[in-house]
Amino acid sequence: MTNPLLEITELPQFSKIKAEHVVPAIEQLLDEARQTITKQLQNGAPYSWQSLVEPIEAAEDRLNKAWSPVSHMNAVINSDDMREAYNACLPKLSEYATETGQNLELYQAYKSIHDSAEFASLDRGQQKMINNALRDFHLSGVDLPADKQARYKEISQQLSKLASQFEENLMDATNAWQKLITDVEQLQGLPESALAQAKQSAEAEGKDGWLISLQFPSYLAVMTYADNRELRREHYQAYSTRASDQSPDADKWDNSEAMEQILALRHEKAQLLGFNNYAEYSLATKMADSTATVVNFLEDLAEKSLAQAQRDLDELRQFAASEHGLEDLQAWDIGYYSEKMRQHFYQLSQEQVKAYFPVNRVLPGLFAIVEKLYGLQISPINQFDSWHPDAHFYQIIDKDQQPRGRFYLDLYARAKKRGGAWMDDCVGRKKTADGIQHPVAYLVCNFTPPTGDQPALLTHDEVETLFHEFGHGLHHMLTQIDHLGVSGINGVEWDAVELPSQFMENWCWEKEALALISDHYQSGEALPDELFAKMLAAKNFQAGMMMVRQLEFSLFDFKIHQDYDPAKGGRIYQTLQSIRDRVAVVKPPAFNRFAHSFSHIFAGGYAAGYYSYKWAEVLSADAFSLFEENGIFDRATGEAFLHNVLEQGGSSEAMSLFKNFRGREPKIDALLRHNGIAV
């Protein structure tokens, strides 16, 4: 049997990859990587970059290029057999990572390069990669006695398995809930586009009527527009109890036990390595220098935002009572009455705004903005191997007509696709004997798909999401660093990795940029000045509430890891409640199980790191303020950001790169100003 995962091709062969290919390919490539390490170590000292680091990097790159499409397909076209194959590989990959990280001979070989005369002759990226590797050996337990190393390995494997289980439970629970509406009166208030999508969903399953689900576009439409309060309550309860003990399907997909185990194992892992808790362990690879720094940062922001957040909620309650006679505002009413209030005070309807952001206008406009800023040209590649008809493929060429990278784009929500939006690494940049291996990215969103002849229309929030993920993509694809460990987003401190993504969102609010990304999908009319003025006026509508909500998530994540006590267990909702008592203004109902679907921290890379969004938002707002001073399309400023930040990957400390661009350390003022929060 030929195995497409073992064939050396420039890009993944998605249409040929089957579940039965996965385990044999990964096992073979893991064996080859192990043999490479053994061979290079057997060659003996003196070790050098060429004799040790390069061969290992090449073997691991081949492994990553096989695993990447498997991991991607498991997320975007999930199936039982692919899921089984994916899960079968997780312990194998975890075991390899741990045994490599605990290989004392390999650690000493790296250290010998670091301590040799050769080290001074290596470039900045190579030096950073070796320094990172030495740090990571310690974080993998290379210094531990054998029994503790074995326990570390067990913990790593269990954590890998539990993260996958958490994500699968959430996906299955999300897919399981549907409601078929046969009387359209029950959906009164929903805009035509949402009704058309619900109709199309029902038809796709051979049903008459309108099908609503927990896929985010469907959920958001009901919570924002449905006049039927009981339907909103039912939908809210189904969504906020997914994969929890409060769900009707708790016997199948309850994440409670997995969450407890994850927290316990992370704490044990951190203590094995000499840290007091997992929050301290997490900061070993981040910009923030201490847990106190993070907590103080978040609490300071909360203190500055709380009064405005309370005013936002009081105004909403007052509006719901005076204009609509609702005295008991509940969690399932907030989105609905917020939209009514936005329309009332700003004469601004999200549905009206959507009409000006058809995806076939937004995408070319986004590419035009990138061309103005960095001199890059982005064009489609029509012939490529794909996993789904929704996927598209593009290339990036720079002003010197040199290729910089390519990316896959998969924009629309569907069953068997993980929720949310993300950028992931398909191929990383590195220098090979044959030249440069150019980076390739996956960009994935979950927007409402087109209906009938109508193009997909994006809310302005979705436009920001697209720009955000594209910012991550640019960070990955525009790197000029030739060593995989520090090219693109690799080696970047996790609390700085959101800088390029949040930075890109700023152009969604600039008139010159909006002219490039918006036109009415039917008439072609430009976004009217009057509508833009309303959008700007409403930009910071409920900004205080949104700020404290993010701070609630960040503090909750950090505290459950920092304050974990094995004798008391996770105390997940107890901790969440204590955080809410201090920084939240909206108090959800008792049945709400938000944490059970908090994939970022239980299944993603944000454990004790969710604060990174706010931390990096300070950097991104301050970076953008230089464009506000010089002009949002000022090419010199754009190229300075390109050369000092985007191209540098993880080859230098993030603070150094920021200061090289901005000329100073970051200030918080621009973040507060952008959010309309007075200091």
The strand pairing partners of 406, in sequence order, are: 395, 440
CA distance 287 to 492: 9
Sheet with 440-447: list strands edge to edge.
377-380, 392-397, 403-412, 440-447, 422-427
The three-class DSSP label of residue 53 is helix
- The radius of gyration computed from the CA coordinates of the chain, to the nearest angstrom, equals 25
What are the residues whose beta carbons fall under 8 Å from the beta carbon of 391, sequence distance 6 or more?
A: 408, 409, 410
Q: What amino acid occupies position 432?
A: T
In DSSP notation, 596-633 reads: GG-HHHHTSS-TTTTTHHHHHHHHHHHHHHHHHHH-TT
Structure token digits, residue 534: 């309303």
Q: Nearest Cα to 26, choosing from 71, 56, 57, 58?
A: 71
Identify the CA nearest to 98 among candidates 155, 55, 56: 155
Q: Which of 167, 280, 339, 469 is catalytic?
A: 469
Say how far apart CA 514 and CA 642 lie, in whole Å.
Answer: 22
Interatomic CA distance for residues 438 and 617, integer angstroms: 29
- Full 3-state SS string of 334-368: HHHHHHHHHHHHHCCCHHHHHCCCEHHHHHHHHHH
SS3 93: helix
Measured between alpha carbons, how far apart are the two ends of the chain, in Å? 66
SS3 205: coil
| Residues whose CB falls within 8 Å of the CB of residue 215, separated by 6 or more in sequence, listed in order | 174, 413, 414, 415, 419, 446
Tell me the residue type at 98: T
Residue 192 exposure: Cα atoms within 13 Å on the Cβ side: 5
* Tokens linked to 371: 């061309």
Per DSSP, the three-state class of 404 is strand
Active site (annotated) includes residue 351? no
Determine the Cα–Cα distance for residues 61 and 427; give it in Å rounded to an integer. 8
Quick check: 471 and 504 in contact, CB under 8 A?
yes
CA distance 476 to 499: 12
CB 276 within 8 A of CB 266: no
**In angstroms, rounded to a whole number, what is the distance separating the alpha carbons of residues 443 and 386?**
13
Residue 507 CB contacts under 8 Å (≥ 6 apart), including other chains: 369, 467, 513, 632
**Cα-to-chain-centroid distance, residue 557:** 16
User: Helix or strand or coil: residue 249?
Assistant: coil
CA dihedral angle for residue 452, residue 455, residue 456, residue 461, rounded to 10 degrees: -150
Identify any residues that bridge with 377 across adjacent strands, giving them in sequence order: 397
Other beta carbons within 10 angstroms of residue 570's beta carbon come to 20
Characterize the bridge pairing of strands 392-397 and 377-380.
antiparallel
Give me the active site residues, please.
469
